[in-house]
Amino acid sequence: MELLLTICKYFLWFILYSVGGWIMETILYMVVQRRVVKRGFLFGPLCPIYGVGAILATVTLYDRVDNIFLLFLIGMVMCTTLEYVTHFVLEKLFHTTWWDYSNKRFNIKGRICLKNSLLFGVGIVLIVRVFQPAIIYATDQIPDTAILWISFVIYSILLIDLATTVSGLKNTVEQLKDFQKLIGGHMQKGLDTTDERISELAERLKASEALTDVLDRLRSTKSPLGRLHDRYPNISFNRYKDVLQFIYGKQEEVHEKRAEKRKEKAESKENNEEKK
């Protein structure tokens, strides 16, 4: 019973920090983008990566590390590693890129960057020294039976949310597949699509009311793809990169990538001929 109660307390702490992370991201996004966007991987008001990071810090650092600078360093490394691994797992599991720091200085493969790492270190110091003692005190005031029931209810809701999220991702992929078929299937993996073909498809899209209607529905925040893109503007589906770029009017980026590839091939060919 004691073990179950301890697990439930950690679970509630995880939820609290996940909600706190969601609130922070939503406010920051609202300030920067000047519009309200529900952030997070799940449909509910949660950013689980913050909850996982906070619990890891509580288990490994709380009442164990007294030196603030050491606490900062360990927290920075730990959370940066968590962010990198999370990005990698989501990319392999769902074939998607959820965030991209490629445009930020001192980044590694767009998955992590120095600025975020420093903020993670500060966040861990605040969690271990300020927030966690207060949260432990608050949860200790709640009756054990109430903690068990609250945990059970929230856990059930979380499972439903997770199932809904996975279903939404599946529907998004189906939408991308259907749109790819609708425009002729000429964008598969971006390997067999020429610039001329891209332009031709763009003209067909503008001229066809049916295709325009489909495009508008895909972009709508009522569609699974629209909702996901609204939350994560930089999200990319690895198998449908060109389709996604096409839907959101980024044909110029496609052209640039094609030109870079042709230039690289030409330079490689010239180097090979010079060696011969």
Which helix (H) or strand (E) segment holds residue 71: the answer is helix 68-94
Whether residue 123 is found in the same domain as residue 25: yes
Residue 240 included in any domain: yes
Q: Which among 219, 213, 206 is positioned nearest to 247, based on CA atoms? A: 219
Angle, in degrees to the nearest 10, between helices 224-231 and 209-219:
50
Residue 80 included in any domain: yes
List, in sequence order, every residue forming a beta bridge with 112; answer none if it has no partner: 108
- Name the DSSP class of 236: E
Q: Which residue has the tokens 């990169």?
A: 241
Q: What is the dihedral of CA 132, 8, 93, 75, to 10 degrees?
A: 20
Would you tell me how many other CB atoms lie within 10 Å of the CB of residue 189? 11
Q: What is the pLDDT along the chain (276 residues), one digit of tens a residue?
A: 789 999 999 999 999 999 998 888 888 877 876 766 666 556 678 888 899 999 999 999 999 998 999 999 999 999 999 999 998 988 887 777 778 888 888 999 889 999 999 999 999 999 999 999 999 999 999 999 999 999 999 999 989 888 887 777 777 777 777 777 766 544 444 444 455 555 555 555 555 555 666 677 777 766 767 777 776 666 777 677 777 777 776 444 444 555 566 667 677 766 666 665
Domain closes at, from 142, 176, 210: 142
Rounded Cα distance between 25 and 37, Å, is 9
Question: What's the pLDDT at 202?
Answer: 55
Amino acid code (one letter) for 232: Y
Whether residue 119 is found in the same domain as residue 186: no
Question: What's the pLDDT at 251?
Answer: 44
Question: What's the pLDDT at 42?
Answer: 65
Residue 156 included in any domain: no
Q: Which residue has the tokens 């001192």?
A: 106
List, in sequence order, every residue forming a beta bridge with 236; answer none if it has no partner: 97
Rounded Cα distance between 225 and 193, Å, is 23
Whether residue 36 is found in the same domain as residue 134: yes
Question: What's the pLDDT at 191?
Answer: 40
Residue 49 included in any domain: yes
Whether residue 183 is found in the same domain as residue 267: yes
- The C-alpha angle 149, 152, 156, rounded to 5 degrees, equals 145
Question: What's the pLDDT at 255?
Answer: 46
Task: Record the pTM.
Answer: 0.70
Would you tell me how many other CB atoms lie within 10 Å of the CB of residue 215? 20
The domain containing residue 242 runs over which residues?
165-275
